[in-house]
């Protein structure tokens, strides 16, 4: 447990879009905060007598109501600059806010707009929004532990210049006011103000932690992990087995919210399933509904939901702090000519467009390096090797790819991993000393069924984003590297090619049969 002292686009007001709002947030220093006393908690807004409803929300801004929870609107079907990552109901339960990855805020029902980080350049993506007990303000939290306060939300600390040990994925205020907790994906809990240090889940599971829910008294809390672990601290009762069940058992937990009494909670999974525990009633869920956007969380009038860890599951190793994830994000280009940029913010770069389809007449797919704000950094299938650019999220579809291909030049092998598990291995021939196979991080850019399956390249070729660093042209082409078959199987296991990776015809056929998606990462070592 770490205890730290005191030490951000489109926006909707009610149901009106305010485009390009730029709210100036003054810099707050540690000295400023240390000098300010923690205020007494204001009187909470009136709440409904019983809690018999909840909302689920999805990546595309869709909102779905169950029980007596009322639907007040959503961003489903709208063109968003960035995915929605959090939903926060108002204290009355008669409205809610949605927050996007870039800090854009959308207000519905009796929720009122108090500000956003529109117009600001964020150091890290926003992962949630949480209201004050009056509903006259809210906090937003970013993965680096930055806290942004609006309305009557009081800033009582952030991680500031002390980075968290893992990305922040959860945030919850003390029910009585005067403090809040932050939660890291490694289970570390960071209390501020009146929030109590009651323990953490760092040694409980190796799976990413996703959700934090304080008890009604503020003297306890639950922590949930993607593998279903539910850890209770302080006066939080143990209401289920060590690991929550529900759904098909294959989809990760993305959220936990308590009932108003604190005698129960609901556990939500990314497949849309909801599992009740304790006095929490089951009121319906989205399991099997075929949604446009993956489900990120669950919220009740008593509890907001942050989607940071769920988003990391959707974005795989492109999400900050989750670079070791076995899942890679691939950008599927939507248009025939899509602009690319030279930075996460700014103007169009010299390489101004990506054209689709590719030479094989397939929709262009690009390996995503990382996602920052409303843009994704993608690898390009062009010289020089390793060239990247930025694309607006609204111009691409993000696709999860569990596969990874590793070419080991010294061992002369090609291996395929599915979600980190080796599922294929074969012997290969690689480039000679004069025409070496380039090392680096690449991806499958296209696939070809070749006209002469008994020829030098075999029946199939998987074109890569890699290019020979010696041969600018080869065989009438641009010197592009590929994994392909061969009519000289005796050379397998040696340095024999002009830079391509040769494998047996049976092996390359198997790769095609595995249906490796375009954009699949190929790491040549």
Task: Please give the structure tokens belonging to residue 140.
Answer: 């937003």
**Cβ atoms of 154 and 39 closer than 8 Å:** yes
DSSP assignment of 95-118: EEEEEETTS-EEEEET-------T
**Cβ atoms of 43 and 137 closer than 8 Å:** no
Phi first, then psi, for residue 394 (nearest 5°) are -70, -15
pLDDT in tens, 175-187: 888 999 999 888 8
The pLDDT of residue 193: 95
Reference 243, options 269, 257, 225; nearest CA is 225
Residues 336-341: contacts with CB under 8 Å, at least 24 apart:
338/391, 338/395, 338/396, 339/391, 339/392, 339/395, 340/378, 340/380, 340/389, 340/390, 340/391, 341/375, 341/389, 341/390, 341/391, 341/392
Number of H helices and number of E strands within the chain?
3, 38
DSSP 451: S
CA 430 to chain centre: 36
* Residue 349: C-alpha distances to residues 318, 343, 346, 379, 382 (Å): 22, 8, 9, 14, 15
The pLDDT of residue 51: 57
pLDDT in tens, 310-350: 555 555 665 555 555 667 888 899 888 888 888 766 665 54
CA distance 260 to 54: 12
Contacts of 303 (CB under 8 A, 6+ apart): 172, 213, 257, 258
Contacts of 477 (CB under 8 A, 6+ apart): none
Please list the residues that pair with 353 across neighbouring strands: 339
- Strand 168-173 relative to strand 337-341, pairing: unpaired
The pLDDT of residue 346: 61
* Residue 58: C-alpha distances to residues 19, 72, 254, 306 (Å): 22, 15, 11, 11
The pLDDT of residue 487: 93
For the chain, which residues score pLDDT lower than 50?
A: 1-50, 242, 246-249, 309, 350
**Cβ atoms of 100 and 85 closer than 8 Å:** yes
pLDDT in tens, 234-289: 999 887 654 555 444 457 788 888 888 888 888 888 778 888 988 889 999 888 77
The pLDDT of residue 241: 54
CA distance 71 to 344: 35
Task: Please give the structure tokens belonging to residue 331.
Answer: 């950008």
Please list the residues that pair with 512 across neighbouring strands: none
* Residue 468: C-alpha distances to residues 384, 431, 501 (Å): 10, 10, 12
CA distance 253 to 272: 10
Residues 406-414: contacts with CB under 8 Å, at least 24 apart:
406/522, 406/523, 406/524, 406/525, 407/437, 407/483, 407/501, 407/522, 407/523, 407/524, 407/525, 408/525, 409/436, 409/437, 409/439, 409/524, 409/525, 412/492, 412/493, 412/494, 414/483, 414/501, 414/503, 414/507
In the sheet that 126-131 helps form, which strands lie side by side, from edge to edge?
126-131, 137-142, 147-151
In a 3-state reduction of DSSP, which class is residue 234?
Answer: strand
Task: Please give the structure tokens belonging to residue 275.
Answer: 């599992």
Note if the bond before 212 is cis, omega within 30 degrees.
no
* Helix then strand then coil, % of the chain, to nearest 5: 5, 40, 55
CA distance 92 to 48: 6
CA distance 16 to 477: 53
The pLDDT of residue 373: 58
The pLDDT of residue 126: 84
- Rounded to two decimals, what is the model's pTM? 0.62
């Amino acid at each position: 447990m770490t205890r730290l002292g005191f030490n951000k686009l489109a926006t909707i007001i009610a149901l009106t879009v305010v485009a390009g709002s730029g709210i100036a947030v003054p810099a707050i220093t540690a000295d400023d905060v240390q000098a300010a006393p923690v205020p007494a908690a204001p009187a909470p807004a009136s709440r409904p007598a019983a809690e018999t409803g909840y909302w689920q929300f999805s990546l595309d801004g869709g909102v779905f109501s169950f029980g007596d929870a009322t639907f007040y609107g959503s961003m489903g079907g709208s063109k968003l600059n960035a995915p929605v990552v959090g939903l926060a109901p108002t204290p009355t339960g008669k409205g809610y806010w949605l927050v996007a990855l870039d800090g854009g805020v959308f207000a519905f029902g009796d929720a009122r707009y108090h500000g956003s980080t529109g117009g600001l350049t964020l150091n890290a993506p926003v992962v949630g929004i949480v209201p004050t007990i009056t509903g006259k303000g809210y906090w937003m939290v970013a993965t680096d532990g930055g806290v942004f306060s609006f309305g009557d939300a009081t800033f009582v600390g952030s991680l500031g210049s002390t980075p968290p040990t893992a990305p922040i994925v959860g945030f919850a205020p003390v029910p009585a006011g005067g403090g809040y907790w932050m939660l890291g994906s490694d289970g570390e809990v960071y209390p501020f103000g009146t929030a109590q240090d009651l323990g953490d889940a760092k040694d409980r599971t190796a799976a990413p932690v996703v959700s934090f829910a304080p008890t009604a008294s503020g003297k306890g809390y639950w922590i949930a992990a993607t593998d279903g672990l539910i850890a209770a601290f302080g006066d939080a009762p143990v209401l289920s087995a060590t690991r929550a069940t529900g759904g098909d058992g294959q989809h990760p937990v993305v959220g936990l919210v308590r009932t108003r009494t604190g005698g129960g909670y609901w556990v939500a999974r990314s497949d849309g399933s909801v599992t009740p525990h304790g006095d929490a009633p089951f009121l319906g869920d989205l399991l099997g509904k075929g949604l446009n956007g993956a489900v990120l969380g669950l919220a009740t009038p008593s509890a907001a939901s942050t989607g940071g860890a769920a988003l990391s599951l959707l974005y795989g190793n492109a999400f900050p702090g989750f670079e070791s994830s076995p899942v890679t994000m691939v950008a599927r280009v939507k248009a025939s000519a899509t602009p690319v940029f030279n930075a996460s913010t700014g103007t169009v770069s010299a390489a101004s467009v990506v054209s689709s389809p590719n030479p094989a007449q397939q929709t262009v797919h690009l390996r995503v390096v990382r996602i920052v704000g409303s843009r994704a950094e993608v690898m390009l299938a062009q010289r020089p090797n390793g060239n990247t650019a930025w694309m607006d999220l609204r111009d691409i579809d993000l696709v999860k790819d569990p596969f990874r291909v590793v070419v080991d030049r010294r061992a002369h092998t090609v291996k395929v991993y599915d979600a980190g598990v080796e599922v294929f291995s074969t012997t290969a021939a690689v480039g000679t000393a004069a025409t070496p196979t380039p090392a680096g991080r690449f991806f499958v850019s296209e696939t070809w069924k070749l006209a002469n399956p008994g020829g030098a390249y075999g029946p199939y070729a998987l074109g890569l984003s890699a290019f020979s660093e010696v041969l600018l042209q080869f065989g009438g082409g641009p010197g592009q590297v590929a994994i392909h078959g061969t009519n000289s199987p005796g050379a397998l296991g040696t340095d024999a090619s002009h830079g391509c990776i040769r494998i047996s015809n049976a092996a390359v056929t198997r790769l095609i049969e595995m249906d490796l998606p375009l954009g699949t990462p190929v790491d040549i070592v």
